[in-house]
Structure 1
């Protein structure tokens, strides 16, 4: 091998290593931005990574920002962008369970902005179900996906007879998924909160008492990042309402 050719190959190798290092640094920077509550910055950094992992993190970041931080009129736009990135995440890697979960998360958040009946008419409930089923088919022990499916069933059960008939959502399945999520992640703040918020509707006898227990447990957990700090605020608010008899 000539010295000139060796130099060219060495340069190419250095560029490949540099690119890989930059990509790794970018996704780590995106995760750090998310953990610190810089959700829009996290979304931009993660999207630029150009992979399923990056698109999924970007979708999550936008959905969280839209739900917790954005002004009311702006929320829908963030959720629409999150949905597109969720779709990109699935297209980029159809074996990435997080891609399906974050896509479902984005569609679910968007559904809340258009109203229950519009969401049902547009088939968004069915889309969420399909995405969550795909996530759980890849990873049956995905606690957050079980939690989200529990919330999906609880929401459909509340939506009325037509919704229950069309989408086969029911209270029994909600409990099954919530209990599985708790079994897999007993110290997950968001799992405890989601189950507690829906328990009174799912169990008319002991649901309210157990909901209080779950909220008390969640309130005692430390927030590990900015997202969990936002969830913790929801926990404290729900616990205060519960203790006041609400």
Structure 2
């Protein structure tokens, strides 16, 4: 198994099971993951929210299909925000995408099976360059997986956000004409998807930072003030768990940069 870089928390107060259940709907407003009834699965999620991403993945994998969403989320978030070795990062993302693909066959109606495949392939694409990923056919796979996620779960705010980012990145990298004709990317669709994500999950550092980035890709300098205001909101948030802290830290870094 690939060795992971350890995540060092910044003095976060660990959540316990009772606190996690109380915060669950707030923490999972983005991915619409239901509260698990299995205590072992609850524990795997508790590890995730406390930043023990590798252990969360291990415990999730030990539970079979029932634990794949937490295992995939832990692996993908670790790869994107913690892992600094590019080769390891890419390996972890591809492992996540492959597991999610298998889960689609076992549980085709599970939104997480489609979303975490798209998320992992999307972040992998950013690492190898979006333009290169498009030539490898990854763009079509990502778009299809995100559209399937939304069809399975219209309240999945993060899927709307990720699909909006797909449209934004394709247009940003290859232009609106080629992006539209070849990959179905559309500026108006991207902006509408961002607005839907904001309506579904407006008080999320994830939504705010991704929307800010998307506005700059789709609209540029004319929306700079709005994008900066979104990052300001994200940076001012008090994180409730390890993942939120990673996003808030990212927003603060973007403002300082």
Q: TM-score, normalised by structure 2?
A: 0.80
Within the alignment, does 1:178 sit opposite 2:178 as a pair? no
Closer, same or farther in 2 for the Cα pair 1:235/1:205, shift >3 Å?
closer
Give the one of 102, 106, 110 matched to 2:120. 106
Identify which of 214, 221, 232 aligns with 1:198: 214
Is 2:154 aligned against 1:133?
Answer: no
Residues of 1 paired with 2:129 and 2:201: CA distance? 31
Q: In the alignment, which residue of structure 1 is the partner of 2:245?
A: 229
Q: What does residue 219 of structure 1 align with?
A: 235
CA distance in 1, matches of 2:172, 2:102: 31
CA deviation vs aligned residue, 1:3-37 (integer Å, no higher than 9, x gap) = xxxxxxxxxxxxxxxxxxxx923211210111111
Say whether the 8 Å CA contact 2:205–2:244 is kept in structure 1: yes
Contact 1:97 1:135 in 2 (8 A): yes
Q: Which has the higher helix share?
A: 1
Shift of 1:216: 1.4
Aligned residue in 1 for 2:108 = 94
Structure 2, gaps ≥5 residues long: 1-36
TM-fit CA distance, 1:204: 4.0
Q: Distance in 1 between matches of 2:214 and 2:256?
A: 16
CA distance in 1, matches of 2:229, 2:88: 36
Structure 1 length normalisation: TM-score? Answer: 0.83
2:78 maps to 1:65: yes
**C-alpha contact (below 8 Å) 1:55/1:88 kept by paired residues:** no
Q: Quick one: structure 1 residues 213 and 124, their matched pair in 2 at CA, closer, same or farther if it must change by over 3 Å?
A: same
The alpha-carbon deviation at position 224 of structure 1 amounts to: 1.2
8 Å Cα contact 2:131-2:174 kept in structure 1: no
Query: What residue ranges of structure 1 are gaps of 5+ in the alignment?
Result: 1-22, 242-246
* Cross-structure match for 2:161: 147
1:140 aligned counterpart, secondary structure: coil
Shift of residue 89, structure 1, vs aligned partner: 2.5
- Larger RCO of the pair (alpha carbons < 8 Å, separation 6+): 2
Equivalent position to 1:42, from 47, 50, 56: 56
Q: How far apart, in 1, do the equivalents of 2:60 and 2:231 lie? A: 32
Q: Which has the larger radius of gyration?
A: 1
CA-to-aligned-CA distance 1:131-164 (integer Å, 9 cap, x gap):
0000111122211111111101001111214333
Tell me if the contact between 1:192 and 1:215 (Cα under 8 Å) persists in the aligned partners.
yes
The alignment covers a number of residue pairs equal to 218
